Amino acid sequence: MVRVLFINPNFDTYVMAPPLGLLYLSSYIKKYCNAQTLIIDALRDNLKDEEVVQKANEYKPDIIGISCLTAVYKQTISITKALKQAGHKVFIGGIHPTFMPYTTLKDSGADFVIAGEGELPLMQICQNNFNHKNIQGVYDIESLKDDETQINGLPVIKAETVADLDTIPMPDWQQLPPVSYPHSPHAVIARGNPIGILMTSKGCPNNAKGIL
């Protein structure tokens, strides 16, 4: 059974909520790859890099995925470098590496990035014994010329998307239940706590360039 670790990095913010994208990825590869997963929310638990690395060493994953928004880019680079120094195989996904894949790889030293949605490429990687080559939307530093161009001159393209959203299981709430999160300002729209998060659609029907 493959072992996959997902990490939501810690950063300075007053808004806190479960990392829904990682929860979906966890459920998806559990269903289609018979994977064992662990999600570490370093933000919720206020973990330092060395504490995350210690947990990763204890879990002994085959691969580690880190979710990266631009707001948490600095922290993503820091924790990636620490995990690589500890000998782990690491990839980065999310909005920032989707639009700046080469820069993200260059700064972090990650093994590869996933540009676009992660369900299908991660499933293929797990099924291919963690070989990330020749998978749409998956890039390592050797395959890119810059943030918009592959080394072969073709443009960077995003990963294939899941056509039937009903095939994506419900988020892996057992790992990070909403009740385990402290109250945050985003909850003022709710009458009570805890609150859950819903995703009602994915992507853009018009394939807009600036939308994941």
The pLDDT tens digits of the residues spanning 9-35 come to 999 987 788 999 999 999 999 999 989
- Dist. CA 136–CA 139, nearest whole Å: 8
With bands split at pLDDT 50, 70 and 90, how would you rate the model's confidence at 185?
A: low
Q: What is the pLDDT of residues 108-127, one digit of tens each?
A: 999 999 999 999 999 999 99
Instruction: Give the right CATH number for 3-189 from 3.20.10.10, 3.30.70.1450, 3.55.10.10, 3.40.50.280.
Output: 3.40.50.280
pLDDT in tens, 30-63: 999 989 999 999 999 999 999 999 999 999 999 9
φ, ψ for residue 89 (rounded to 5)?
-90, 125
How far apart (Å, rounded) are the C-alpha atoms in residues 56 and 40?
9
Looking at residue 181, the DSSP 8-state letter turns out to be: S
Lowest mean pLDDT among 26-40, 83-97, 184-198: 184-198
At 194 the pLDDT is 72
Does residue 184 surpass a pLDDT of 80? no
One-letter amino acid at 32 equals Y
- Condensed to tens digits (0 to 9), the pLDDT of residues 112-167 reads 999 999 999 999 999 999 999 999 999 999 999 999 999 999 999 999 999 998 99
Predicted TM-score of the model (pTM): 0.92
Q: Which among 153, 150, 152 has a CA at the least distance from the CA of 137?
A: 150
Q: Where are the domains of the chain?
A: 3-189
Give per-residue pLDDT as tens, 91-106: 999 999 999 999 999 9
26 membership: H or E segment, kind and range: helix 20-33
Q: Return the pLDDT at 189.
A: 61
8-state DSSP, 152: T
